[in-house]
A and B are shown apart, each in its own frame.
Chain A
Amino acid sequence: MNPLPMILADLRGLRWNAVVVVVLVAVAVAVGIALGAQERAFRHASARAADDFPLLIGAAGSNTQLVLTSVYLRLEALPLMNGAALARLGTDERVAAVAPIAFGDVVAGHPVIGTTAAFAGRWGRLAPIEGRMFAAENEAVIGSDARLAIGDDLKPSHGHAGAVWPTDLGHVGTEEAAHVHAGAHYKVVGRLAPTGGPWDRAVIVPVETVWETHGLGNGHAPGIERIGPPFDAATVPDVPAIVVKPKSFAAAYQLRGEWRRGVTQALFPAEVLVELHVALGDVQQILLVASALDDGLVFLAVTALLVTVVGLRRRRYAVLRALGAPQSFVLATVWGAAAVLMVAGASLGLGLGWGAAIAVSQLIAGDTGLAVPVTIGAPEILWAGAVALAGSLFALIPAWVAGRGSVIDGLSS
């Protein structure tokens, strides 16, 4: 038995109906694929961006905002904590390294972040791919995606007006132009390797430069012009966030316990991410259920369409049976054509879903600076396969309808 020529003939005869079915199934599949792939990629990317922030300490307040601002540079005004903490942590024997993070300025759409050279280089993990690390006040290194060049002389403006789109980077907006810090400037001396996070868009300067730009001194004893730790407990300004690299897990938990009392909070960014992912996960579940319902509705619509087509082709299948075709031949013909459409739709949906996930990644990267590399993995392929399988099972309905009924009635229809 070889129903393949009839399957191809049926598909050819469907013309635009076949295209409609494939597109409907493809869109239904693509929604599920895009949701799954995007969500997984976003979780990975957001977790990776937080890898360089073992322990964050800030003033008591929203832990989520502390992480969003420090790690993801979603810049909002954070409550400040006493800068003396920097000196205290710098001498704590459980701490391998400590760095302040200071925000508040913008250059050509790029956020300006003040910190130490050690943390800018992610404590030795990240080296400049061009030029060198800043070594003095008024020097800056730029992230890999910054639309600036080594040698640029930058004039910072007060504010958080970061660029929303990558294409806006490198342009000075109206708001930014109205709040330029008089007399302040940085010279770009290096470009850092990519981190895959929002810091790739930042202009990173010595924290002393940020403090001085805002008239807060340089955090060192009078007369000392160097940059970097140790900081002077008596003169160091209040800071919005401190990154701490503990020497051990035990030290990390001890420090977190000690600094999350009273006027300060200490947290592992992963904790906040887990909370966010749990919330995202709930939404994800709802979206996946909605997507599955969507698929079910599409299957019903496609099945109804195919049953109608089979009804219109009643005579064709009656002729086959009159010529001696067993019911199984007719069933295989109708099911085969429908299954081909379902599999084609699911395969196209896999590609479309991947494309959609990449497009959403571009939007997220444009909005957050977070590189979200989307990959199509086993879950997406399994999803597409499950949809194709379910669709093929639905396709048995028109096939069963086609194989039933009187041949004579079919011949005279």
Chain B
Amino acid sequence: MPTSAAPAEPAAADGPRAAALRLDGVVVEHRRGREPPFRALDIESLEVPPGARVGFAGPSGAGKSTLLHVVAGLAVPSTGRVAWGDTRLDTLGEAAHGRWRRATIGFVFQDFHLVDELTVRDNVLMPARFGRIADRQALHARADALIARMGLDDPRRRAAKLSRGERQRVAVARALLLGPRLILADEPTASLDAEAGRAVAGLLVDAAREHGATLLVVAHDPALLERLDTVHRLAGGRLIAEERR
């Protein structure tokens, strides 16, 4: 029986822009030398409706991050089917997966992964550098609006001079720049204190709602998980429980 998340509230003015995400029989195995393969992920079935906000929780090694990597196309499943709407992701080549990722995904990492030598604005603009920019002025205006929305006062500050909370807010702004239809967040509040974590969680969830984007979050943080529509528990690479809010 497929495990499904509740549909997202249609908060965006024009409704969810995202597509449904579906994983069927997805297995990811890691091989180390002559040891038997280690099964890092084994998802019988998972369906995430467009615009849903879904969390994945579980102990270390449960397969949470691997699941995000499979969805993002960074990890290739040994078997199974991954689809975003009508697009089969598991059969895309590396270059095509990169293009899809660029057009579809906003990624927020636990360790922010900003470029310290760049300013806040240049970090936020980074995903736009990978392709052709149609309207440079509009893009910069959007970047500055996102930066302001994240409560950052100076877009010209170097990333190296930001606090951890500020860095994660920049990372969220970067993930939202191109209006992603799918936001992937891997432990986005794990390295923040409680207050900063709550702020970032709020920004992330609100932004996903406003953009009508599907949000997939790997988290241990209860404050973040309780803001999501559905939380899946994983253990040993399998989905073992589903909690709907």
Contact status of A13 and B116, CB under 8 A, knowing A3-B129, A324-B130, A407-B74: yes
Q: Tell me the minimal C-beta distance from A123 to chain B in angstroms.
A: 69
Q: Is A314 an interface residue (CB 8 A)?
A: no
Interface size on B, residues (CB 8 A): 29
Residues of chain A lying within 8 A (CB to CB) of residue B132: 1
Determine if A53 is an interface residue (Cβ-Cβ < 8 Å): no
B105, B117, B122, B174 — most chain A CB neighbours (10 Å): B117
Stretch at the interface among A4-12, A247-255, A303-311: A4-12
Q: Given A5-B129, A408-B75, answer yes or no on A324-B113 (Cβ-Cβ < 8 Å).
A: no
- For residue A315, CB closer than 8 A to chain B, the reply is yes
Cβ of B72 under 8 Å from chain A: yes
Task: Digitize B116-146: 1 where CB-to-A-CB distance is under 8 Å, 0 elsewhere.
Answer: 1110001001110111110000000000000
Interface centre among A13, A324, A329, A407 (most CB of B within 10 A): A324
- B107, A323: Cβ atoms under 8 Å? yes
Asked if A325 and B118 sit within 8 Å, CB to CB, the answer is no
Please determine whether B98 and A9 come into contact, CB atoms closer than 8 angstroms: no
Check B116 against A326 for contact (C-beta < 8 Å): no
Is there a chain B Cβ closer than 8 Å to A316's Cβ?
A: yes
Cα–Cα, bound, A411→B112 (Å)? 11
Interface of chain B residues 81 through 110 with chain A (CB within 8 A): 94-95, 98-99, 101-103, 105, 107, 109
- How far, in Å, is A157 (CB) from chain B's closest CB? 69
Contact with A along B58-94 (1 / 0, CB 8 A): 0000000000010010110000000000000000001
Q: Does B115 contact A (CB under 8 A)?
A: yes
Query: Which B residues are in CB contact (< 8 Å) with A411?
Result: 74, 109, 113
B contact residues around A325 at 8 Å (CB): 98, 102, 129-130
CB distance A9 to B118 under 8 Å? yes
Task: Report the interface size class on chain A.
Answer: 20 to 34
Where chain A touches its partner, the secondary structure class is helix
Q: Mark A308-337, 1 if CB is under 8 A from B, else 0.
A: 000000011001111111110100000000
Could you mark each residue 192-212 of chain B with 1 if its beta carbon is under 8 Å from any beta carbon of chain A, else 0? 000000000000000000000
State A1–B133 Cα separation when bound (angstroms): 8
Q: Which residue of chain A has the shortest Cβ distance to B114 in the bound complex?
A: A319
A2 at the interface (CB under 8 A from B): yes
Partner of A326, one of B95, B122, B126, B174: B95
- Asked whether, in the complex, the Cβ of A326 is within 8 Å of the Cβ of B129, the reply is no
Known contacts A407-B74, A408-B75: does B115 contact A324 (CB below 8 Å)? no
A357 to B105, CA, bound (A): 57
Contact A319 B74 (CB under 8 A): no
Contact B117 A323 (CB under 8 A): no
- Chain A residues with CB below 8 A from B115, complex form: 6, 9, 316
Q: List A residues at the B interface (Cβ < 8 Å).
A: 1-3, 5-6, 8-10, 12-13, 315-316, 319-327, 329, 407-408, 411
Which are the 9 A-B pairs with shortest beta-carbon distances? A324-B102, A9-B117, A319-B113, A12-B117, A324-B101, A325-B130, A2-B129, A407-B74, A9-B118
A-B contact pairs, 10 of them (CB 8 A): A1-B132, A3-B129, A6-B115, A6-B126, A9-B122, A322-B107, A323-B174, A324-B127, A326-B95, A411-B109
